[in-house]
Amino acid sequence: MSNNKKICPHCGKEIPALADFCPECGLSVVEEAATAEERLNMIVEEEPEEAAAAAAAEGGESKEEFEKRMAERRESYQKALDDRRKRQRRMVPVVAALIIAAVAGGGYAISRIMNTDLPVTGESATASLESQVESAAETPVGGDANGAVDASNMTIPSTIVAETTIPESSSLAESASESASESSSESTSAAETTTAAPSTVDTSNAKTMYTTTWLNVRSGPSGDSSVIGTTDNLEALQVLDASGNWYKIAWNGREAYVYSGYVESSKEDAKKAIAKRESEEESKAEESKKKAESESKKEEEEEEETKKSKGTDSSSVISDSSSRYLDEDDLDGMSSKELRRARNEIYARHGAIFSDESLQKYFEKKSWYTPKVPAADIDWDDLNKYEQANIDLMTEME
């Protein structure tokens, strides 16, 4: 095989060395030229005279015919490259808008704008761009065996989003900067334009009334309605209508409601209502103070009465019956009444309240006695070992 020929990797046929497509099977035989720029450079860097001589020797093509075909081919690729750059420049405003959208809403917002199923960002977007541009450059639609390109079919796919590889040139960078600035200005202008102006309320028939305290302004005539503001004390309101216990008012360009119980028809009436309420509040505060002082004095008197009525007798029948074992000698000579009092004296030390009136009166005279619980509620286990043994002894001797 001569140097002016090469083998098609698909069908194995011998084809011209400069061919990009096999004339037999129609498939691309370009292996290394990945981009339109590289393919154009490859054509420009060929040696037309040597290639023309080889082509003339093999196929009978003259040098002029070969040079004309090469010129057409370079022109076709140059046109395709220029068209692609123009489309990329037109993509600059779109890219700027996508960047703004990415800042505001992230990749998901971009994917919704571009009507894609999932957000495309980062490396995946770059890979998508590169693969589709390469595909457009390497596989010309309608190309012939020599690689002639129909430039009108080399389009930038619309699914490329988020990141776009833009040729490095000062003019294109300036264009991108200007487009981004314009897009930002347009976005700001659009945001300002679309800001809803507050609705206006007809106040031509409204009546001016005044508040007598700080009031919640609500969205509806109900205490359950949301609070949208607060009035000042003695504030003038534009009252539009009445709805039950509520006044409909004009508030910041919209209709709202306040409770009518704290609104007066004139400023003078409002001042009088405020003075009356303050006077009533002072009277209530004074009354509450007097009531608290009276209750405190009453409690002191009751405490003093309790002290006076409390017994002053500190004596006991047997003072140590809760701290030692008694024997019959300790109880010898005591009457049944004394033994009964001595036995219940142990319960009295635990705060027993006796159902027997005579016992209750007897122990109430004792200074050490403090009634707490009914005697029946005092459990046997609440007594210590001395008390239990002494009660048993006194019960036996009683």
Q: How far apart are CA 231 and CA 214, in angstroms?
A: 5
The vertex-130 CA angle with 126 and 135, nearest 5°, equals 150
Unique residue bearing structure tokens 């403090």: 370
pLDDT at position 19 is 74
Give 105's pLDDT tier (boundaries 50, 70, 90): low
pLDDT at position 147 is 43
pLDDT at position 38 is 53
| pLDDT tens digits along 334-364 | 999 999 999 999 999 999 999 999 999 999 9
| Segment among 72-76, 177-181, 333-337, 338-342 with least mean pLDDT | 177-181
Q: How far apart are CA 161 and CA 101, in angstroms?
A: 11
Top-confidence residue, 390 or 150: 390
DSSP annotation string for 202-230: --TT-EEEEESS--EEESSSSTTSPEEEE
Q: How far apart are CA 284 and CA 6, in angstroms?
A: 112
Give 25's pLDDT tier (boundaries 50, 70, 90): confident
Top-confidence residue, 290 or 172: 290
Top-confidence residue, 396 or 4: 396
Domains defined for the chain, CATH in brackets: 5-194 (no CATH), 207-271 (2.30.30.40), 328-397 (1.20.58.1690)
Top-confidence residue, 236 or 31: 236
The vertex-231 CA angle with 225 and 236, nearest 5°, equals 120
Q: How far apart are CA 216 and CA 77, in angstroms?
A: 74
pLDDT at position 246 is 96
Q: What percent of the chain has pLDDT over 70?
A: 64
Highest-scoring range by mean pLDDT, 44-48, 92-96, 154-158: 92-96
| pLDDT tens digits along 158-176 | 443 333 444 444 444 454 4
Residue 363 tokens read as: 């122990």
Q: In this structure, which amino acid lies at residue 245?
A: N
What's the whole-number mean pLDDT along residues 204-210? 93
Top-confidence residue, 155 or 89: 89
Highest-scoring range by mean pLDDT, 81-85, 209-213, 393-397: 209-213
pLDDT surpasses 90 at 220: yes
Unique residue bearing structure tokens 């505001």: 104
pLDDT at position 254 is 93
| Segment among 59-73, 211-225, 247-261 with least mean pLDDT | 59-73
Closest of 395, 309, 305, 303 to residue 347, by C-alpha = 395
Top-confidence residue, 8 or 289: 289
Q: How far apart are CA 222 and CA 262, in angstroms?
A: 15
pLDDT surpasses 60 at 37: no
What's the whole-number mean pLDDT along residues 259-276? 93
pLDDT at position 164 is 40
